[in-house]
Structure formats: C-alpha cells, structure tokens
Amino acid sequence: MKATSKDKQMGFVNAKDGWHTFKIQENCRYLEDKDTGEATNKIIIPMQVVGDEDEGAVASVFCDISKKGGRTALAKMVEFSGLSKTVEKPAMKASDLTPVEWGERLLNPDSPKCLKLINEILMKIPEHTISGEVKTNKDGFSNVINVDYDTGKAGKDENSAGSGSDKVSDVAETKDDDDWV
C-alpha cells in the first residue's frame, strides 16, 4: 500500500475556499431543538466535493425556512441542483418565478402543502450535483456563499457565474386559477 499525506486525514475535512462541484449527500433534514428534541424550521443540506483536488471535503448549507433568506437559499438549492424540474407541478405556476418568489410562494413552513413539498425536496435532493463557492468564516467553517448549475468545471471566474441562469423550465403553465398554497 502506498499512502500520501492526504491519506492520513480522518473524519471531515472542510472544503477549501473557491468554487467546487458538490454532490448533495443523504441526511438532508430538519435540525432538532437541543432542549426538546423536536424538529425546527432549520434545514441542513450536507454536501461533498467531487471531481477536484479537494475531493471528499465537505460543506453544508443551512436554511432557516422561517425566514425569507432561508426560503430563498433552499429555493436556490432546488433550482441550481436541477431538482425544480422534478418537483414543480403545473398548478404551482412556478416556472417563471425567481428563487426569492419561489421560496416565498412554495416554501412557507406554515402551509401544509408547502411542508409536503419541502419534505419531498429533502427526500429527492440527495445525489444531485451543484457548483458552489466556498468561503471559510472566522470560526473555520466552510460556508457556501454562491451557487450555480453544475457545469463540471470547479474553477469559475466572474464571467461564468450564473451561466446557466437563462435556462428555460420545462414545466408548462396552466390556466388553473386555484392558489397552490
């Protein structure tokens, strides 16, 4: 057997700063309240770097869906991972919504229909890939600060960020006037 210094690492290694391709891991879930053990409105999406020298390193995305920013972050993960085409239904009238609008309309934790969609997302998003830019915070944790469609190219420059954002959704709109939520 031939071992390198990288082989000596055990456990989790945070992703280095910069752009990486991530594979979303199993165990996407609601975080639990430490005191009560009950689920909160905070969601964790664990990811692992694939396809570059940092392969195997990890980062997670945290989404507090009780807040607009958290709903937007989850909506971005759904879109840029390619999952939106799978979970959107015509009655949702969502194919032309921005991630902010999608999050506000479809990821409201107070709506039973939205909770059903959120749970579907948590079940279906693992194994999807996404490109993400990592920045390490002052506490040494790797945070994903930007996301994009997975192009298979971990290194990005300013001109390539958002390169897939002009993709058109395959979801057809309907004339159903019923509010989805």
3-state secondary structure the chain: CCCCHHHHCCCCCECCCEEEEEEECCCCEEEECCCCCCEEEEEEEEEEEECCCCCCCEEEEEEECCCHHHHHHHHHHHHHCCCHHHHCCHHHCCCCCCHHHHHHHHCCCCCHHHHHHHHHHHHHCCCCEEEEEEEECCCCCEEEEEEECCCCCCCCCCCCCCCCCCCCCCCCCCCCCCCCC
User: How would residue 154 be classed by pLDDT, with cut points 50, 70 and 90?
Assistant: low
pLDDT over 60 (residue 170): no
pLDDT in the model for residue 95 = 86
| pTM for this entry | 0.80
Give the pLDDT band of residue 2 (cuts 50, 70, 90): confident
Model pLDDT, residue 180: 46
- What pLDDT, on the 0 to 100 scale, is given for residue 9? 56
Residue 143, pLDDT score: 86
pLDDT of residue 156: 53
CATH code of the domain occupying 15-148: 2.40.50
- Tens-digit pLDDT profile for residues 52-103: 999 999 999 999 999 999 999 999 999 999 999 999 988 888 989 999 999 9
Point out which residues pair with 148 in neighbouring strands.
131
- What is residue 12's predicted lDDT score, i.e. its pLDDT? 72
Domain ranges of the chain: 15-148
